[in-house]
Amino acid sequence: MWAIAPLKPRTENPGMMKMMVSDLKTEKRFIRHLVEKRTQIEEANAQDIADADVAVKAGKLSSSLFKRLDVSGAKFDTLLKGIDEILNLPDPIGQVTYANKVAEGLDLYRLTCPIGVLLIIFEARPDAAVQIASLAMKSGNALLLKGGKEAQRSNAALVTAMSAALRDVGLPADCIQGVDTRTEVAELLKQDKYIDLVIPRGSNELVRSIKDASRIPVLGHADGICAVYVDSKADLDKAAKIVVDSKTHYCAACNSMETLLVHQDVCANFLPKLAAALAGKEDVRYKADPVCRPHLPSGITEPAQEEDFDTEFLCHTMAVKAVASVQEAIDHINSHSSGHTESIVTEDPVAAEAFLSKVDSAGVYHNCSTRFADGFRYGFGAEVGISTNRIHARGPVGLEGLVIHKYRMYGSGHTAAGFSGASPEHTFLHAPVRGVDRVEDIPQAKKVRT
Amino acid sequence: MWAIAPLKPRTENPGMMKMMVSDLKTEKRFIRHLVEKRTQIEEANAQDIADADVAVKAGKLSSSLFKRLDVSGAKFDTLLKGIDEILNLPDPIGQVTYANKVAEGLDLYRLTCPIGVLLIIFEARPDAAVQIASLAMKSGNALLLKGGKEAQRSNAALVTAMSAALRDVGLPADCIQGVDTRTEVAELLKQDKYIDLVIPRGSNELVRSIKDASRIPVLGHADGICAVYVDSKADLDKAAKIVVDSKTHYCAACNSMETLLVHQDVCANFLPKLAAALAGKEDVRYKADPVCRPHLPSGITEPAQEEDFDTEFLCHTMAVKAVASVQEAIDHINSHSSGHTESIVTEDPVAAEAFLSKVDSAGVYHNCSTRFADGFRYGFGAEVGISTNRIHARGPVGLEGLVIHKYRMYGSGHTAAGFSGASPEHTFLHAPVRGVDRVEDIPQAKKVRT
């Protein structure tokens, strides 16, 4: 039975915990403990896979989910390498993001610090558990992990290994806990006093149901209804290449293209070219408007319905629509997209700038595939998810999305009253302070260390 | 009747709107229109004040609320000056906060942009309506404003003047709208598709009830249960001055001290000194633990109950407790405080650093008054509130709290598939790009302008 222990990291202050984590290289211990328990983890994983295999054969589980379950062999090595990469990222905690001399002898610093306790709900991908736990530890956060039930044994084995690593370095093993059932999740969603952020990775329905059930802030990783717009000034070969990649590189991902918008002047030239490029791919289907339909292969093309432009297909089906201008493309996207990632293909820099500045999505691209919307590809090392929220973090969320800040102020007896009256004791200067980039650079903090 | 027009700014894209706002100096028009309508605004305000006067005399309204209602005369001039100050702040939109050369010919930029549509619920302070609207316009956000009902006529007159300013510069007048009733607020809280952030300024109950009623993210400006800890190594004169200011400079504010913690070794010396310093103040009351009680004036001191340490008194009453160590003070604060602002008074830098690093509050201070927790005092020009949230914004929230970011990526036909395979077309570089501080510096965007 899961216990209400997330309280513990909070009262022990995530900030301190981070210092311990950093000092003791917990992430290295993670690797050691995972290696030591490799046999147990792979055995648990084999059991999950065996069960899933039965379910796939009975038509109860998708093969794409099945593929993601495996963490054995080479995948285990990749997983270890991933932890190592996260370990080598710069420390996200203790960065000074605002330094101001408020008055003579009164200094203000804003420092990054952990958010606190995170509840992460993710799909049946045991490798995600390890990646997320590494990011959480690197950023000094405590973590409650609920993975897809198909990976339950694998996740339990991984959490056991990671908790042992924590205990090994003198941290509460409770800093990482597994959550097994939906009933437990429902209970946890009520604990807004102890849990600071919920990150659900999954469908819009999952994200909405969690928002309905909880006062805890939610960082939703939800559907991606991404569009590519092929402009009248597009290089059509480039456009075909980008659309093929955006749609078929990994169609189950949220950053894959679902909607294709084509300038009406190039429909006749572009669409047959695209169809030819996609001819070798399995299960390609077009749901096209009347302008585009004649230019697409008849056997696999059907009339688009209004709702097709609001659908995340997650397969090789796409909705196709002709537009009369870049502005019409922008308007379509701002009405229909999920605000995830959109790309314009054009050789006209003016059209590109209009698209990038007016499209209101987390990612706006020029002449490249929507598939780049990803924490690793953005250079963050890894990600906990991709946010379509409009506060805190938007787009791929790496370590930066797992931190918040606190303000330190150092005075020498300063009072607010001292700044007012006929002859005030102090006056506001509000002068930026240069050269203080990390907590270690704060002069008052330095004194203690040396 | 209020119309679902916030949709409008969203589809017109707040980013573009901001550019228009910036170009056309809407804030200057704000000032002009407020000056032009000064007579009407002051008349409306006089009516609100007359009604409130009756309510105060009938004992139905507090005098502190009454005082905040007035926006006439010199207060009107202060209000205009405030807009001018916000106008002169650096542009918070279009700042580049991440610039990365992902691969040869593939560049990534993260740019600040408006959040979108904000719903702000605030107390009966008409000056707050103007300050918040100025911050929202400066950051390119559309705004729904619900003020306290006692200021309804003043707010309506102010919103009319500000809408006229918007229309004057060719922006939709709907970008600022007043919301009159709680029924309308309840309706708006369901519009998570159109409203991006709710900022309620008020009690914990208000914030909680809004979180319960809505999926929209909430930036809560709630109670402040702030503590001052007087350490064994404190300069006791300095400590008395800081405690007097923290408690009595403006006791109705959320950044005022409610809990006083005193190291047991200095109770006998410090508490009589404090009582002497507070002797001239009205209605001072102590709720003290058994160790502190003997050292405080008997007539105005009573035994502290457990709940007194979880209470926001908002008057000259304070809860007083002796602690055996800085660690006990830290533990007390992390269990009882609302995570707003806490201060340690000590001449011992080691104790100070322990307190600042381990206390888990938005503001942690050394040798100064808790009253400094304020957007203006922090150097932000103004504030929309003080957040005790642990995501997005924490502490006083200025313009930075009203923006989010989007990512722009510029490629030349790049695909994700191009980075894999036996002989990949591209390789990841992930090299930081220097010298791109604002959207105007992005080389691809520059080309269009010149």
d(CA B134, CA A96): 28
Distance CA B49, CA A17 (A): 52
**A178/A319 same-domain check:** no
Of the pLDDT bands very low, low, confident and very high (cuts 50, 70, 90), residue A142 is confident
| Residue A22 sits in the same domain as residue A47 | yes
Q: Chain A to chain B, count of Cβ pairs less than 8 Å apart?
A: 266
CA of B363 vs chain A CAs: smallest distance (Å): 5
B403 vs A391: CA distance, rounded Å: 8
Question: Does one domain contain both A186 and A51?
Answer: yes
Q: What digits encode the pLDDT tens for the residues A86-139?
A: 888 888 989 999 999 999 999 999 999 989 889 999 888 898 888 888 898 888
Contact A441, A95 (CB under 8 A): no
Q: How many Å separate Cα B163 from the centre of its chain?
A: 24
Q: Are the beta carbons of B358 and A13 separated by less than 8 Å?
A: yes
Q: What is the mean pLDDT of chain A?
A: 89
Contact list, B11 vs chain A (CB under 8 Å): 331, 334-335
Residue B12, pLDDT score: 38
Q: Mean per-residue pLDDT for B35-60?
A: 94
Instruction: Flag whether residue B450 sits within 8 Å of chain A, measured between CB atoms.
Output: no
Taking only residues 172 to 201 of chain B, the set having a beta carbon closer than 8 angstroms to any beta carbon of chain A reads: 192, 196-197
Is A220 within 8 Å of A200 (Cβ atoms)? Answer: yes
**Is B122 within 8 Å of B147 (Cβ atoms)?**
yes
pLDDT of residue B299: 95
Task: Say if residue A104 is in the same domain as residue A239.
Answer: no
Contact yes or no for A414 and B372 at CB 8 A: yes
The pLDDT, as a whole number, for residue A9 is 39
What pLDDT does A423 receive? 93
**Average pLDDT score, chain B:** 89
pLDDT score at A371: 98
Tell me the C-alpha distance between B290 and B288, whole Å.
Answer: 7
Q: Which residue has the tokens 């990632």?
A: A341
CB atoms B417 and A249 under 8 Å:
yes
Residue B16: which of A19, A358, A413 has the nearest Cβ?
A358
Which segment, A180-194, A429-443, B8-22, is predicted with the most confidence on average? A429-443
Tally of domains in chain B: 2
Q: Is residue A407 part of a domain?
A: no
Check whether B384 has a pLDDT greater than 50: yes
Q: How far is B250 from chain A (nearest CA, A)?
A: 10
Cα dihedral B325, B330, B332, B336, rounded to 10, equals 160
Q: What is the distance in angstroms between the Cα of B411 and the nearest Cα belonging to chain A? A: 5
Please check whether residue A235 lies inside any domain of the structure: yes
pLDDT above 90: percentage of residues in chain A: 64
Interchain proximity A115–B362, CB inside 8 Å: no
Q: Using an 8 Å CB-CB cutoff, list chain B residues near A351.
A: none
Report the C-alpha gap between B413 and A235 in whole angstroms.
9
Predicted local distance difference test score (pLDDT) of residue B371 = 98
Q: Is the pLDDT of residue B243 over 70?
A: yes
User: Is B269 part of any domain?
Assistant: yes
| Residues of chain B contacting A361 with CB distance shorter than 8 Å | 406
Q: Between A281 and A168, where is the model more confident?
A: A281
Range in A236-240, B243-247, B389-393 with the lowest mean pLDDT: B389-393
| Residue A195 resides in a domain | yes
DSSP secondary structure letter of residue A294: G
In a domain, A446, yes or no: no
Among candidates A39, A217, A37, A20, which has minimal Cα distance to A138? A20
Q: Which residue of B has its CA nearest to A355?
A: B408
pLDDT confidence of A58, banded at 50, 70, 90?
A: very high
User: What part of B 30-69 touches A (C-beta under 8 Å)?
Assistant: none
- The answer to whether residue B157 is domain-embedded is yes
A residues 203-232 lying closer than 8 A (beta carbon) to B: 208, 211-212, 215, 217-219
Mean pLDDT of B83-109: 92
Residue A21 pLDDT > 60, yes or no? no
Query: Are the Cβ atoms of B413 and A208 closer than 8 angstroms?
Result: no
Same domain? For A66 and A213 the reply is yes
- Looking at residue B283, which CATH number applies to its domain? 3.40.309.10
pLDDT tier, B156 (very low <50, low <70, confident <90, very high otherwise): very high
The beta-carbon neighbor of B415 closest among A245, A353, A413 is: A245
Do B167 and B251 fall within a single domain?
no
Q: What is the pLDDT of residue A180?
A: 85
- Using a pLDDT cut of 70, give the percent of chain B over it: 93
Report yes or no on B16 lying in a domain.
Answer: yes
Residue A193, pLDDT above cutoff 90: no
Q: What's the pLDDT at A394?
A: 95
Q: Is residue A440 part of a domain?
A: no
Q: How confident is the model at residue A27 (pLDDT cuts 50, 70, 90)?
A: low
> Which one is predicted more confidently, B362 or B180?
B362
Structural domain including B356 reads 226-381
Nearest-CB residue to A368 (from B366, B379, B409)? B409
pLDDT digits (tens, 9 = 90+) for A385-411: 899 889 999 999 999 999 999 999 999
User: In whole angstroms, what is the distance from residue B111 CA to residue B408 CA?
Assistant: 8
Chain B residue numbers touching A211 (CB-CB < 8 A): 192, 215
Distance between CA atoms of residues B158 and B154, nearest Å: 6
Check CB contact under 8 Å for B353 and A102.
no
A181 and A44, same structural domain?
Answer: yes
Residues A140 and A154 in one domain: yes
Do residues A186 and A202 both lie within one domain?
A: yes
Residue B450: predicted pLDDT? 61
- Say yes or no: B24 and B145 in one domain: yes
Query: Lowest-pLDDT range, A269-283, B33-47, B214-228?
Result: B214-228
The pLDDT score that the predictor gives to residue B449 is 67
A356: chain B residues, CB-CB within 8 Å: 408, 445
Which pLDDT score, from 0 to 100, does residue B23 have?
39
Regarding whether B372 and B237 lie in a shared domain, the answer is yes
Given a cut of 70, whether residue B21 has pLDDT beyond it is no
pLDDT digits over B281-321, tens only? 999 999 999 999 999 999 999 999 999 999 999 999 999 99
Share of chain A above pLDDT 70, in %: 93
The CA distance from A174 to A416, in Å, is: 42
The residues that bridge with A406 in the sheet, in sequence order, are A111
Nearest residue of B to residue A348 by CA position? B448
Judgement on whether residues B66 and B129 belong to the same structural domain of the protein:
yes
What one-letter code names the amino acid at B96?
V
**Domain containing residue B203: CATH number:** 3.40.605.10
| Backbone CA torsion sign across A268, A269, A272, A275 | negative
Residue B57 has pLDDT above 70, yes or no: yes
